[in-house]
Each structure stands twice: as structure tokens, then as C-alpha cells.
Amino acid sequence: MDKKLLIIDGLNLIRRFYAALESEQDLVRRVERAQSITIEALVKLAHQFNPSYAVVVFDSNGKTWRHNLYPEYKLGRVPMDDLLLESLPDFAKLFRFNHFPCLRLDGWEADDLIATLAVKAAHNNVTSYIVSTDKGFTQLLGDVRILQYDYFAKLGYDKIWVPGKYGVEPHQLVDYWALVGDTTNRIPGVKGIGPKTALTIISSFPTIEEIYANVTFFSERIQTMLAGGYEQCLQSRSLVALKTDVDVGVRLSQLRYTPKTES
């Protein structure tokens, strides 16, 4: 049987379930209901994918290297309700009780930990299924052993899906996003460059370095937009690129999944 690793973007799942319960006025009850629904979702996912290994990954508290590199990173994002934030350790305890290992590492976003786990698993010929709605993971889909699944839309994404969605291959996405920006995380692109213009540019030269080395190739309009934006593009690309070499401190064998049996 092919080995599979189920990687859950913990907060991505939890926050959406919690938001869907906004009609619940009792916040304690709202958190409890979110916990129950999230556990149900994890069990459904495990049944659906039948993984050999599983892990729920959480963000660390406080700032990460991206905030240090770019202080405006994620600035303005709606903060988590205090009660939900305080209850995250309880979510993790429930997940572990139901045999889902959890991972959190100080100073690191879940995205980088997830990317590292997926890439390392792929190197060991283990197929990873990343459960998240975060578009950032699509940059990893160039490897056929890394797939993404949107639990809410019930849609799976692979390397064939990416060009149809963005017009570029998975490995080109970080340069593409460096040009158009990432509004969700407040990462700037080049002013005036939208998806259509970015595709025109990248179809001629695929990386930021090559684009700026050949800037005179482009029309005066595009040259004007690109002017003076080289360093910003490099910084934006660094911010959107997921780290795949984090020392996560766990072995794949520690993430082995065994379904919880009913007592």
C-alpha cells in the first residue's frame, strides 16, 4: 500500500468552523461546538484518505521571520477572538486524544512547517495531502507526491490544476506573486501589474532576476511599472516562498496514525 501523510492546517480549519458559528452568542459554547465539529472533520478526513501518518500543524504565537523581514506582513488581519486563542491548547489536547499528532514550533508559521513536512515526505516516497484553503501551498504542487485538499469546497488540487488557475507552473508561482502581490498577507506587488501583465512578463522571462536583467525587452509601459521595483520584488518573493528545510524536530515514524477505537 502506498504510504500517505495527512497534513492538517490547524488554524485554517478551526477559524472557519468558528466563524460559521457566529450566531452562537455564548462564546464558551461556541468554542465547544467548534471543537466538536473540528474533531468530526478530522475523523472524516482520516476515513477519506486512510493515511499512514497524520499531523495537525499550528502557528506559533507572536512574530516570525516574515514579520522581522517585513513589519507590515499580515497587518490589518482580523485578530482571533481571545477565548478562541486561549482555547487552542485544548483543541490540541482533543486532537491528540483522538490520535492526531500536533506540531507547533516557536518562531515559525504553520505554512513553513507544513511545506517542510510535505517535501521531506515526498523525498521518502510518501504522498502528502495538505488540507487547507491557503493558496500558498499550490507552489508545492510541482511534485506529484504533494497534493492539496480544500475541505470546505471538497476540491483537490494538483500540478495540472495550477496552470489552469494561474497560467504558470507551480515553481513559477513565487515569481508571479512577487509581481502581482498577495493582498491576503499584505505583501506588495509591483504597482500597476495585475495577473494578465504578470503572465506576459513571466512568459518572456521566468524569474525576477531574468526579468530585470532584460527589462529593455518589454514595452515602455511595462518598463515604467518595473522601474525601481527590483529589491521589492525580491523581498516579496522571499515572503511568499515557503521554507522547506525547517528543523521540525520530529521523524515521520512519530506521526504514524492509528484510528481511535470506540470504547
Inform me whether the pLDDT recorded for 210 exceeds 80: yes
Domain covering 166-240, topology:
DNA polymerase; domain 1 (1.10.150)
The pLDDT value given to residue 167 = 95
The pLDDT value given to residue 48 = 97
- CATH 3.40.50.1010 for domain 4-162, yes or no, is yes
The pLDDT value given to residue 1 = 59
pLDDT class of 74 with cuts at 50, 70, 90: confident
Per domain, the residue ranges of the chain are 4-162, 166-240
- The tens digit of pLDDT for each residue in 150-194 reads 999 999 999 999 999 999 999 999 999 999 999 889 999 999 999
The pLDDT value given to residue 262 = 57
* 3-state helix/strand/coil string of the chain: CCCEEEEEEHHHHHHHHHHHCCCCCCHHHHHHHHHHHHHHHHHHHHHHHCCCEEEEECCCCCCCHHHHHCCCCCCCCCCCCHHHHHHHHHHHHHHHHCCCCEECCCCCCHHHHHHHHHHHHHHCCCEEEEECCCHHHHHHCCCCCEEEEECCCCEEECCCHHHHHHCCCHHHHHHHHHHHCEHHHCECCCCCCCHHHHHHHHHHCCCHHHHHHCHHHCCHHHHHHHCCCHHHHHHHHHHHCCCCCCCCCCCHHHHECCCCCCC
> Are both 4-162 and 166-240 of the same fold?
no
